[in-house]
Structure formats: structure tokens, C-alpha cells
Amino acid sequence: MSISIKDLPDFEYVLPGSAACAGCPSAIALRMVGKALGENAIMLMTPSCAVASIGPLPKSCYSIPVLNVCFASAGASAAGLAMALDALYEKGRLTGEKPTIFNWAGDGGTYDIGFQGISAAAERNDDFIHFCYNNEAYSNTGMQRSGATPIYAATTTTPLGKEVHRKNLPLLMLEHRVPYVATASLAYPTDLIRKVKKAKDIRGFKYIEIHAPCYTGWKFPSSDTVKMSRLAVQTGSWLLWEAEFGKVVLNSPTSLLAAEKIKPAPLEEYIGKQGRYAHLADSPQKEEILAAMEKEIRRELKFMAARAEL
């Protein structure tokens, strides 16, 4: 499936003048997702920046039906909605194409607070897409660290840098053996849209995680949201892959990095531009820490390349 930007529809999920920060990655990602899924969709959201972006009642920046649900119930709510629709179609009370049901949740909502419900829905193979837009912190409440915050990154609750590694949630979802799991990046929009379109046409549980560099929390200029997304992929800090029923395929350029056909971009180019790593710049352990981060990147690349062999 090749995607041409010119052929994408004009239709927008996010209307101009939302309450999101200027340059918000969630808004960019959701606009792209809308162009892949189309109008016939219902979105569920857990508390997050994406909810705060809606604007005050009675206005909404989103053009499709949206349900705000609590953190713990993302898995159960989307599953219930999908099952209710199935029942209505079965009874003939609804006809035509079933709307795509999807969750739009942050990393806090996915990795940490909502995880048990999402895991249960994945195990039951309920029919919806769970999107995680991963801005690597609890942004809406003031940038507290989450299970997705990378090691060494400073947040308001890890002012000296996080001391432990992030979880690998896409991998955990993969090992639920669901029909489709993918990672995506704002800087590779045609890859992202292709993956969302693919997920739309598969019945059962789908998980797509979109890396979402947040300039407010990571402390870089708002104009660099997409640039930071690109550097994350080019340095190997964010890996692009997809898996149908557990069979992993690495996507370009991650596949080229793993095969050592291209060299990763220098890590300092990525983290050096983010204020959340500023404490490393004049740390006596700077070289040691950079080497450890690069080693971790190589480990993850090797791990996913080997997982793709299975």
C-alpha cells in the first residue's frame, strides 16, 4: 500500500484553534490518523493533554464523536462499545459499515494507569485500535515521569534525571499475540498513515504507538517537534516496526540501522537539543552516560532484529 500525501482527504479530526499548545505532537498525530480512518469513527480518550485540548464546554476541537473515560477503563470502555455495536448490527438495528472504535491515550494512560484494562482487552482480542501517543511523561499535569520516560531524562519528579529504564510497551503488547501492533513517528507520515489504514481493516485488537516529542516538557523550540521525531528514529532512540499476529517486520530506516547499512545519527544531536537532558552537558560522567545510552540503543536494535527473525 503506497500512500500519496496529495491523495489524502481534506477531512480533519482536529479543527483549527484547539486548546493544545502551539506545535503539539498529539494534534499533528491525530490529524494524520483522521486522514487514515475517515469520518466513520468513534474516539475514546483518557485524561491527558488531548482531553485538555478539546476546549471548554460546550465547544470541542474534535470533529468526531468523543467519549472521555477514566484512566482505568480505556480497555473496558472501548471493548464495551465495540461489543454493543456488534450486537446492534446483529439485531439489524444498525446497518452499513461499522465505525472504527479507537482509544486515544497518552503514555501515562497506557504504560501505567490504564495498563491492566488494555492488557485484558488485548487478551480477549476485542475489536478496536488502542493508540498511545507517547510524549514520554505525564504532560497535562506538569511533566511528571511515567513508565515511558527514558533513563536520565529530567522531569518534575526526576529533577536529577530518571534513574531507571523505560518499559518496552509495544513489545509487551506484541507478546499478547494480537492481530496487529505497530510503532510510528510523526516524521514518517506515510508510514504512519499506512499502518493506521492497515489496522482499520483488521478485526480484533490493534495497538499503535506514536512517538510524540513534546516541546513544552522536553524543552526544545516548538518548531522542532517533527525534527525531534525524525532524530529519535535516526539515532535509533525510537524504533519503527510492525507485526501482524506476532510476525515482526522492521520498517525503514530502523531496518537499515539494524542491518548496519546506515549509521545512526549522533545521539548528541538528539539529546543535546532537549533541555530535559541539559544536566548531562556539564556532568563529569557525560561521556560514560552517552556511551551507556548508545549501548542501550544497540541492544534494542539487536533485540528487535532478532525478534523479527522469529
Partner 1 sequence: MNDRSIYPLSQPVKGAGGKTGSWRTAKPVIDLEKCSGCLLCWLFCPEGCIGKNDRSIDYAYCKGCGICGAECPKKAIVMVKEEQR
Ligand X SMILES: Cc1ncc(C[n+]2csc(CCOP(=O)(O)OP(=O)(O)O)c2C)c(N)n1
The yes or no reply on residue 154 touching ligand SF4 (CB under 6 A) is: no
3-state secondary structure 209-240: EEECCCHHHHCCCHHHHHHHHHHHHHCCCCCC
Among 13, 14, 21, 230, binds ligand SF4 (CB under 6 A): 21
Among 40, 116, 141, 223, binds partner 1 (CB under 8 A): 223
CA distances from 204 to 37, 75, 181, 201, 255 (A): 16, 13, 11, 10, 27
Rounded Cα–Cα distance for residues 124 and 118 (Å): 10
Helix (H, G, I), strand (E, B) or coil at 129: strand
Among 21, 24, 45, 49, binds ligand X (CB under 6 A): 49
Burial class (CB in 10 A: 0-12, 13-18, 19+), 95: exposed
| Interface positions, 48-107, toward ligand SF4 (CB under 6 A) | 49, 53
173-196 in b/e form (b: 16+ CB < 10 A) is bbebebbbbbbbbbbbbebbbbbb
The yes or no reply on residue 135 touching Mg ion (CB under 5 A) is: yes
In whole angstroms, how close is the CB of 49 to ligand X at the nearest point? 3
278-306 in b/e form (b: 16+ CB < 10 A) is eebeebeeeeebbeebbeebeebbeebbe
H/E stretch holding 119: helix 115-124
Give the total of residues touching partner 1 (CB under 8 A). 41
Does a cis peptide bond (omega within 30 degrees of 0) precede residue 58? yes
The yes or no reply on residue 187 touching ligand SF4 (CB under 6 A) is: no
What is the DSSP-derived secondary structure letter of residue 166?
P
Q: Which is nearer to Mg ion, 29 or 258 (CB)?
A: 29
Amino acid at 266: P
Among 108, 189, 236, 253, binds ligand X (CB under 6 A): 108
Applying CB under 6 A, the span of 77-85, 121-129, 133-141, 275-283 interacting with ligand X comes to 133-141
Among 2, 58, 92, 159, binds partner 1 (CB under 8 A): 58
196 binds, among Mg ion, ligand SF4, partner 1, none (CB under 5 to 8 A by kind): none
The yes or no reply on residue 134 touching ligand SF4 (CB under 6 A) is: no
The yes or no reply on residue 16 touching partner 1 (CB under 8 A) is: yes
The yes or no reply on residue 18 touching ligand X (CB under 6 A) is: no
| Phi (first) and psi of residue 14, to 5 degrees | -110, 115
* CA neighbor of 203 nearest in space, from 107, 92, 89, 113: 89
216 binds, among Mg ion, partner 1, ligand SF4, none (CB under 5 to 8 A by kind): ligand SF4
- State the maximum Cα–Cα separation within the chain, in Å, rounded to a whole number: 69
In whole angstroms, how close is the CB of 288 to ligand X at the nearest point? 30
The yes or no reply on residue 216 touching ligand SF4 (CB under 6 A) is: yes
In whole angstroms, how close is the CB of 274 to partner 1 at the nearest point? 16
The yes or no reply on residue 192 touching ligand X (CB under 6 A) is: no
The yes or no reply on residue 140 touching ligand X (CB under 6 A) is: yes
In whole angstroms, how close is the CB of 217 to ligand X at the nearest point? 8
Residues that bind Mg ion in the complex, under the rule CB under 5 A: 106-108, 135, 139
Residues that bind ligand X in the complex, under the rule CB under 6 A: 47-50, 71, 105-109, 113, 135, 137-141, 146
